[in-house]
Every structure is written in structure tokens, then in C-alpha cells.
Amino acid sequence: MRRLLTLASTLALAAGAAAAQDEPLRIGAAVYGLNAEFMQIWSAALEEHPAVQEGIVDVTIFDGRYDALVQQEQFETMITQGFDAIIFVPIDIEAGAAAVQAAHDAGIPVVGSNTRVNSDLLHSYVGSDDVMSGRMVAEYVLEQIGCEGNVVILEGPIGQSAQIQRLEGNMQALAECPDVTVLEQQTANWSRAEAQTLMENWLTTHGDAIDGVIGQNDEMALGAIEAIKGAGLNVEDFAIAGIDGITDALNAVKAGEMQSILQDARAQAQGALDVAIKAVKPDYEPMSDIWEQYPEMPWNDGADAEYNVPWTPVTEENVDELLAQRQ
Amino acid sequence: MAVGTARRIDTGEIMRRYGILIAFLVLCVVLAVVNQNFLTTRNILNVLRQTSINGILAIGMTFVILARGIDLSVGSIVALAGVVSASLATMATTAMVPGGPYPAALAILAGLAVGAACGAVNGVIVARFHVPSFVVTLGMLSAARGLTLLYAGGRPVPNLTDSYRFMGNGSLWGIPMPVVIFAAVFLVAWWVLSQSRFGRQVYAVGGNPHAARVSGISVASIRIWIFVISGTLAGLGGMILAARTGSALTQAGIAYELDAIAAVVIGGTSLAGGVGRVTGTLIGALLIGVMNNGLDLMGVQSYYQQVIKGVLIVAAVMLDQSRNRRD
């Protein structure tokens, strides 16, 4: 048995040596969960990266199933299996730190994407600034109501980094409009159905007094739209905006019912992969076209600690093109 | 069915028998006094509409619990029936079913069939293979969610036809369709459980399966039927949810089984089986709905709602226990 094992490992070593030149890099992507549309788009974009298509890297996507512990165990698996680099989209800003530490100890670079993790051991981070989007979404609503009147805020799950940062941005924008009153501010846990119920109840309490709806994501803004329609009110009488640019929201923008800000999942995924490959292969040049698409986010040899993927406002002009990309 | 034998009027006995109804009425009176919007027609219709999906699931759950079972899979069946049925009623160009959108009636039949099929699988395994329903439906909770994600590719099924959406956002003589459906389901369930032979057999199986078998009842077929009823009603709930939000989401219905069980238990149906009424479930579901609505109207943090719901569930079971002891 032992001899057999030795033989097997010798063969494996020989095969490894022969293929070392063009053997693809193994990069693992640990994402918090694949149930929602955004991470689906993110994952699809990763698989479509030219380096994957040309066989330069082998990408394995691990579904964290919205559980920090599952993600931790997936890191252990990747470390054991000797992955060359890891792209990390953590479920929780704090709980991911231990996983990053373990990979760092094993000498595997970790590139963050989309959601932050509270660790200074990240090789780099490619994501979008949620404070900025929170500010933008509130500004859309405030601009439309002329910086006066009453708004409600639909928040993400309290304590999640996106909720904290988007709220910070909401408040920055609101501070510039002292004549605006926030009538209600409550979590709907990113959920359309929950937001619909909440908005129905708010419309009962405040009726026509509500002028604007600040949604910290598109799902909740869409729920508010359904509630307004259900109450027999005119959606055009409300200023409504959300974040993420999910397909239903793009359709609602097209119908003139809301505004949305696209979080570019493709750029976050492909940018993170370019940075991760560069971390392992020093002579690598980025292959994704996102660096041309966003000149305001320079490549800088993949050495930046943070890459800020710009937010794209969804407008009547670009909405058809964005919808076409989803086909 | 266990019947109390108290002869004289006894306030303790009244509390035990009608405690939940009294609590519900007190809550309504308090809310009507505190908030002027509570008793408006629109708000009452809102509460009924917001209660209807959970109410429909809870009615199905009542059948299962009366027969001494439990159905943990209803939340996942909500999502599965939702996406399957919506995929036949979507106008999206990315539709996975070619040739659509199909007539709403066909899509609805498909959703009901999916729910009934999941329920039948649950029921057959429970009845024929003698696996505890807790375990079987726990398995279905996971499997149906996975099938939902597989079927929809993790993405929502958007752009549902207006005729399909009618059951979510339409109304009949001024009453929202979800409420009309909920009322119809309730009346049928009430008749079946209190007037029909099948209903008496459900109570008999839950009260004492051995005695039921001896008296010639096919315990296995009753057990299969109650899961088919629960699954079908979950499918119905899932379609109303999709019609209401305008899009069938793969994350729909997560943890809905818990609210359904809560409504049944608050309504006084014993988890030991054989004791309880569907009118109790109606009040239990309405109590949860009114409480959520009232606290929203008063601007109370949603976290308190969860605490209060928890206290209610335990209090209801305590009432139930003391009633059982007396009997």
C-alpha cells in the first residue's frame, strides 16, 4: 500500500513538473451566497473572464450559503488543496477576518470583492463604495422633491456593512436638505415583500404626506412601488430610488417609476480576478476590458490596496443597453 | 375531540378557552384608540391582505398539526410553486419556458400541482415509510429550495402578466383578491374540519391513531391527504406572493413555516394532535398580522415585533397546557 502511494506521488510529481509551464492557476472564489441575482451575475462574470476562457486560470466558486462558518470551512478546504489565490466576498465584515488570517498564514493571497472584511491582511479589495451609493440614492430622491418635503428610508438588515455605509451616505445627503423630514426609517431586510408591507402601513399612517422613498436596495424600492400602486396612488407622485440595478429595477426605470444605481458586479468580479492573478504571476497583464471601461479606476500594476468600481446611474439612455446585457 | 366539563362560570376557564380571542379584541381596541388610522377601511383591508398568505399556509398547517404531524417545508414550497407557476406567466424574454406567457389559469394549475406533488411526497414517506414528519419535511425544506434555485437558475422570474397578477393585486367588490382567496380557503377548511367525515377522521388520527385504525379509518391515507392539502395551500400562497410582488423570487418564503406554525399554535391547536380548530388558526394569524401592522403604524422597531411574537407563542402554549391538564 505504502509503495503504491509512493509510486502514485512520484507519478503525480513527474506529471506536475512536465505540466508546470502551462498548468492553469487555481483560484477559488468564496462568495457569501448564490441565492440572489447580484451574486449570480458576479459569478457568471467571473467565469466569463478572458483568463478563464483561455485556460490561464481555473476558477472554483464556493457557495457560502449565507453562513460565516461555512465560508471559514471553505477557506480551510482551499488552503488544504493548495489554491494559488482566493477571491473573497464575505457574509460578515468581522467574521471573515479569521479566514483571511488563515489563508495569509498559508501564504495564499486573498483579494476582497464586493463586500468588505475587517482585515489588513487582504492583498487588495475590488468593490464599490457603499457610502457613495447611499449618498447618490438619497440625492436622487431629494433632488426630485426639490430639497423639501417628507421622505421614508427602507434600510437593509441592521448591522450589515452595506446597511451601515449606505445609511451613512443617506444621512450625508439629508444633512444638506434641512427642510426634509424623515418620517419613517425601518429595516425591510433587503426584501421586496417586507418593504411592500411596511410601505402599505406607512401610507396608512402618513397618506399623501410621503414625497420620497429612499431604498437602500432595488428590491425594497420595488416593494414600495407595489404598495403605492396597491393603495391606488400614482407612482409618479413619489420620488423613488434604489441601489444595485437588478433586472426588475431596470424595467421600472424604463417605465419611469424609479431611479436606480447600478453596482457593476461584472467589474467587481473581473477586476478582483485580474488583481488575484497578478498577485501570483508577476508578469501578468490584466485581460478584462473593465479597465478600459473605467478609466477613473487605473490598473496601477494591480498593486493598489483598494479599487473603487464606480457606480453607474441607470438612465433612460443606458437602460436598454443594460437590459440587453442581461439576456 | 377533548371537551371540557366545567359546569359553572369560571373566569379562569373563560380565559383558557377564549384567551386568544380576548387578547385579539383587546389589541384591536387598544390600537384603535392609540392610532386613528387603525380602524380605517383601507388599513383593515391592508391587515387582511398582509395576513392572507400566512393565513393560507397556517390553515394547511392546521390540518397537519391536528393529525399529529408538522410541515416544515411550506416556506420552500412557496418559492418552488412560485417560480414554476410564474415561469409560465412571465412576459420576460429570458423565459425558461418557450411559447409563453400562458393563460393565468394554466400557470395557477401548475403551481397548485407543484405544491400538491411536494405534499404528496411528504405524505407518502411519512405514511408508508413511517419516517417522522419533522424529518421528512425538513428534508423537503432543503430539497424544494434547491429545486427552486435549479429551476430558476437563482434568478427571479419577473414581468408577470396582468391576468396572473390579478390574484395578488386585483380585487373583487372592493376586497383584495388575496383576502377573497384566504376567506374561501378558510370557509372550505372550516366546513371540511367541522362538518365532513374526512374532518372527523383527521381529528381521530391525531387524537389516537391506534384507535382510529381499529375503528376502520385508513390512517395512512389521511396522513397523505393532510400533507397534500398543506402542500397545495403552500403552492397557492407562493403564487399569491409572486402575483403580489410582481416577480417570483427564489428567496421567497424563507422561514414562512415558522409564522404558519406560530399562527396555529397561538390559535390553540395542540401540537399533540387531535385538539384545535381552524377558527383558532384564523384568529392566531390575524393576531400576528394586526400586531405587526399596529406596531408599524406606531413606528415601533420591527425587532420588538419579533420579541412580542415570541412571547405570544409561548403564552399560547402555556394556556394550551393548562387547558389540557384540566381536561
Angle (CA) B261 B181 B155, round 5°: 70
Same domain membership, residue A144 and residue A85: no
Is A226 in Cβ contact with B42 (below 8 Å)?
no
Same domain membership, residue A236 and residue A147: yes
Asked if A254 and A320 count as a contact pair (C-beta separation under 8 A), the reply is: yes
B158 at the A interface (CB within 8 A)? Answer: yes
Answer whether the bond into residue A109 is a cis peptide, omega within 30°. no
What residues of chain A lie within 8 A of the CB of B149, using their CB? 34-35
> Is pLDDT at B240 greater than 80 in this prediction?
yes
Mean pLDDT within B19-39:
85
Same domain membership, residue A147 and residue A116: no
Same domain membership, residue A106 and residue A202: no
pLDDT at B315: 80
For residue A188, the chain B residue with the least C-alpha distance is: B302
Asked if A227 and A237 count as a contact pair (C-beta separation under 8 A), the reply is: no
A188 backbone dihedrals φ, ψ, rounded to 5°: -120, 20
What residues of chain A lie within 8 A of the CB of B50, using their CB? 197, 200
Is B241 in Cβ contact with A230 (below 8 Å)?
no
Distance from the Cα of residue A277 to its chain's centroid? 20
Asked if A202 and A170 count as a contact pair (C-beta separation under 8 A), the reply is: no
CA distances from B127 to A79, A167, B142, B209, B225 (A): 46, 52, 20, 12, 10
Nearest to B85 by CA among B226, B237, B229: B237
User: CA-CA distance, B13 to B8, in Å (whole number)?
Assistant: 9
B264 backbone dihedrals φ, ψ, rounded to 5°: -65, -45
> Is pLDDT at A321 greater than 70 in this prediction?
yes
User: CA-CA distance, A260 to A17, in Å (whole number)?
Assistant: 51
Chain B 246-285, residues with CB within 8 Å of chain A CB atoms: 246-247, 249-252
pLDDT at A203: 94
Residue A41, SS3 per DSSP: helix
Mean pLDDT within B20-39:
86
pLDDT at B8: 61
Same domain membership, residue A84 and residue A56: yes
As a whole number of Å, the CA-based R_g of chain B is 20
Asked if B71 and B61 count as a contact pair (C-beta separation under 8 A), the reply is: yes
Domain edges within chain B: 53-257+270-277
Cell of B34: 392609540
Interface test with B, best of A31, A155, A201, A219 (most B CBs within 10 A): A201
Asked if B97 and B59 count as a contact pair (C-beta separation under 8 A), the reply is: no
What is the average pLDDT value for chain B, to the nearest integer?
88
The larger pLDDT score, comparing residue B256 to residue A23, is at B256
pLDDT at A13: 47
Is A200 in Cβ contact with B50 (below 8 Å)?
yes
**Domain annotation covers residue A14:** no
For residue B249, the chain A residue with the least C-alpha distance is: A36
Cell of B121: 411526497
CATH code of the domain covering residue A163:
3.40.50.2300
The CB-based long-range contact list for A278-283 (8 Å cut-off, 24+ gap) reads: A278/A302, A279/A85, A279/A109, A279/A111, A279/A123, A279/A124, A280/A25, A280/A27, A280/A84, A280/A85, A280/A109, A281/A25
**Domain annotation covers residue A80:** yes
Same domain membership, residue A194 and residue A49: no
> Is pLDDT at A10 greater than 60 in this prediction?
no
Cell of B154: 437563482
pLDDT at B15: 67
Is B169 in Cβ contact with A226 (below 8 Å)?
yes
Predicted confidence (pLDDT) per residue in B139-169, tens digit: 999 999 999 988 988 778 888 888 999 998 8
Q: Which residue has the cell 496601477?
A: A300
Mean pLDDT within B84-102:
80
pLDDT at B9: 65
The larger pLDDT score, comparing residue B234 to residue B291, is at B234
Same domain membership, residue A244 and residue A278: no
Q: Which residue has the cell 424574454?
A: B93
Chain B 62-121, residues with CB within 8 Å of chain A CB atoms: 93-94
The larger pLDDT score, comparing residue B17 to residue A78, is at A78
**Domain annotation covers residue A325:** no
> Is pLDDT at B125 greater than 90 in this prediction?
yes
Residues 6 or more apart in contact with residue B73 via CB below 8 angstroms: B118, B122, B137, B138, B140, B141, B144, B231, B234, B257
DSSP states along A146-199: TT-EEEEEEE-STT-HHHHHHHHHHHHHHHT-TTEEEEEEEE-TT-HHHHHHHH
Helices (H), chain B: 11-34, 41-66, 74-89, 104-129, 133-152, 162-169, 177-195, 197-207, 209-214, 219-245, 256-266, 278-297, 302-326
Residues 6 or more apart in contact with residue A150 via CB below 8 angstroms: A180, A181, A182, A183, A206, A209, A210, A211, A212
How much of chain A exceeds pLDDT 90, in percent?
66
**Domain annotation covers residue A99:** yes
User: CA-CA distance, A187 to A154, in Å (whole number)?
Assistant: 6
Nearest to A323 by CA among B276, B278, B93, B165: B93
User: CA-CA distance, A271 to A266, in Å (whole number)?
Assistant: 8
**Domain annotation covers residue A73:** yes
Mean pLDDT within A216-239:
94
Same domain membership, residue A161 and residue A104: no
DSSP states along B48-111: HHHHHHHHHHHHHHHHHHHTT---TTHHHHHHHHHHHHHHHHB--TT-SSTT-PPPHHHHHHHH
As a whole number of Å, the CA-based R_g of chain A is 22
User: CA-CA distance, B242 to B167, in Å (whole number)?
Assistant: 10
Mean pLDDT within A199-208:
91
Predicted confidence (pLDDT) per residue in A113-160, tens digit: 998 888 889 999 999 999 999 999 999 999 999 999 999 999 988 777
Mean pLDDT within A151-177:
91
Chain A 275-304, residues with CB within 8 Å of chain B CB atoms: none
Same domain membership, residue A229 and residue A215: yes
Among A187, A192, A198, beta carbon nearest to B245: A192
pLDDT at A80: 87
A184 at the B interface (CB within 8 A)? Answer: yes
pLDDT at B325: 58
pLDDT at B38: 86
Mean pLDDT within A194-217:
93
> Is pLDDT at A1 greater than 50 in this prediction?
no
The larger pLDDT score, comparing residue A105 to residue A14, is at A105
CA distances from B183 to A200, B48, B198, B212, B279 (A): 21, 10, 21, 31, 11
For residue A197, the chain B residue with the least C-alpha distance is: B50
Same domain membership, residue A301 and residue A256: no
- Counted domains in chain A: 2
Give, to the nearest 10 degrees, the angle between helix B256-266 and helix B302-326.
40
pLDDT at A22: 67
The larger pLDDT score, comparing residue B95 to residue B228, is at B228
Nearest to B36 by CA among A204, A227, A321, A31: A204
Residues 6 or more apart in contact with residue B70 via CB below 8 angstroms: B64, B133, B134, B137, B261, B271
Q: Which of B172-186, B219-233, B243-257 has the lowest mean pLDDT?
A: B243-257
- Read off the DSSP letter of residue B249: -
Measure A143 CA to nearest chain B CA, in Å: 26
Residue A15 confidence class, pLDDT cut points 50, 70, 90: very low
Residue A208 confidence class, pLDDT cut points 50, 70, 90: confident
Counting Cα atoms < 13 Å in the Cβ hemisphere of B87 gives: 22
> Is pLDDT at A20 greater than 50 in this prediction?
no
Same domain membership, residue A190 and residue A89: no
Nearest to B231 by CA among B205, B260, B207, B206: B260
How much of chain B exceeds pLDDT 90, in percent?
52
Is A326 in Cβ contact with B50 (below 8 Å)?
no
Predicted confidence (pLDDT) per residue in B191-210, tens digit: 999 999 999 999 999 999 88
Amino acid at B202: V
Same domain membership, residue A255 and residue A148: yes
Element (H, E) at A58: strand A57-63
Interface test with B, best of A182, A197, A254, A257 (most B CBs within 10 A): A197
Domain housing A146: 130-262
Interface test with B, best of A34, A43, A190, A192 (most B CBs within 10 A): A192
What is the average pLDDT value for chain A, to the nearest integer?
88
Q: Which residue has the cell 445609511?
A: A167
What ipTM describes this predicted complex? 0.71
